Amino acid sequence: MSEPPLIEIHNATIWRGTTRVFQNLSLSIAQHERVAILGPNGSGKTTLLKTINRELYPVVAEDSWIRILGRDQWNVWDLRKHIGLISHDLHDRYTPTTTALEVVVSGFFSSIGVHGVLAQRISKQQVAKAQNILDLLGIGALGHTSLNAMSTGQQRRCLLGRALVHEPQTLILDEPAAGLDFAASFDYLQRIRNLSNSGHNIVLVTHHLNEIPPEVERVVVLKGGEVVADGDKAAVLSGEFLSSVYETHIRVAQLDGYYLAYPGQVFYKT
Ligand SMILES: Nc1ncnc2c1ncn2[C@@H]1O[C@H](COP(=O)(O)OP(=O)(O)OP(=O)(O)O)[C@@H](O)[C@H]1O
Ligand SMILES: [Mg+2]
């Protein structure tokens, strides 16, 4: 039997508050695929990731489903073992006094913070593993430092550690390098490349083409809640196509498997 897709979205309609973000969205991502998702602000990228992560649900309708690894129903705890998500609002949900170790350990419980009863359930092994991950991420000395005393890059690394603690097969990253300086973002991206090269699924949302690791083969472009492109990276990332999607002049350069967008003078009409 062939392995089921990592994600299979079929005919999904998804609302956020009073906004219908997607109508009849269909998208499938295979296991071991590396995918980048692009699209203008408000096009639905974060909504899509939250749906995959079961933080948002589509409208129940006939002939509409979302399956993860072939299953419709998931216990959220089980799902977290397969999928690690890193997003900005996750970051915002932590109290500023949470320490790096607490952030990473909370990943074992898929919780925000580890207080009360949860704190009593933490084992020595879990703390040791969390410390090991902090070491690997280059912030081993910050275990007892609180989030509000860290730079943005250090906070981001904590969240990566939280997502990695379960060793999930899939990492879903929503603008992971936003706010990082060159050293921090290149280092972070190298870590994502290493994970990708060791067989992890990567689903990455970004606004910056140079943050797309060369290993990513497939690019999906959303606009106004629709998939306007889905295919081979080289074909999708053309200046002509991106200019039409973003309605601005964009030229695209390529270097060693990386892409870079910069302002263009020629406006391509579709
Ligand atoms: N909590 C919310 N309540 C109501 N509408 C929302 C909510 N969050 C997002 N939306 C709307 O849903 C649509 C898609 O938003 P989403 O956050 O998925 O976009 P995005 O592609 O991630 O954009 P960005 O590039 O700015 O991060 C937008 O029109 C947005 O205004
Ligand atoms: Mg977003």
**Residues with C-beta less than 6 Å from any ligand 1 atom:** 16-17, 19, 21, 39, 41-47
pTM of the model: 0.89
What is the chain's mean pLDDT, rounded?
A: 89
Residue 159: how many other CB atoms lie within 10 Å: 23
- What is the residue-wise DSSP string for 178-231? TT--HHHHHHHHHHHHHHHHTT-EEEEE-S-GGGS-TT--EEEEEETTEEEEEE
For the chain, how many residues are written?
270
Q: Please state, for a pLDDT cut of 90, what percent of the chain lies above it.
A: 61
pLDDT tens for 229-266 read 999 999 999 999 999 999 999 999 999 999 999 998 65
Starting from the CA of residue 174, give the closest ligand: 2
pLDDT band at 156 (very low <50, low <70, confident <90, very high): confident
Q: Within 10 A of 126 (CB to CB), how many other CB atoms are there?
A: 18
**What is the rounded average pLDDT of the residues 23-30?**
96
**Res. 38: pLDDT tops 70:** yes
Cβ atoms 131, 80 nearer than 8 A: no
Query: Given this model, what pLDDT does residue 182 score?
Result: 87
What pLDDT is recorded for position 51? 92
How high is the pLDDT of residue 59? Answer: 94
Kindly identify the ligand whose nearest atom is closest to the C-alpha of 45: 1
CA gap 215, 25 in Å, rounded: 26
Nearest CA to ligand 1 atom 9: 16
Q: Output b/e per residue, 214-242; b: 16+ Cβ within 10 A.
A: eebebbbbbbebebbbeeebeebbebebb
Atom of ligand 1 nearest to the CA of 18: 4
Predicted confidence at residue 42, as pLDDT, reads: 96
pLDDT at 117: 60
Mean pLDDT of 57-66: 92
Q: Given the structure tokens 């020595």, which residue do they identify?
A: 124
- What is the per-residue pLDDT across 62-84, written as a single tens digit (0 to 9) for each? 999 999 999 988 887 788 888 98
Q: Per-residue pLDDT averaged across 108-137, rounded?
A: 81
CA 223 to centroid of ligand 2, rounded, Å: 12
Q: Is the pLDDT of residue 114 over 70?
A: no
pLDDT at 108: 85
Q: What is the pLDDT of residue 236?
A: 97
CATH 3.40.50.300: does it fit domain 7-237?
A: yes
Eight-state DSSP code of residue 81: H
Tokens of 218: 């497939």
Residue 249 to residue 260: CA distance in whole angstroms: 14
Ligand 2 (ion): residues with CB under 5 Å are 45-46
* Domain extent listing, the chain: 7-237
Please indicate whether residue 177 or residue 26 has the higher confidence score (pLDDT).
26
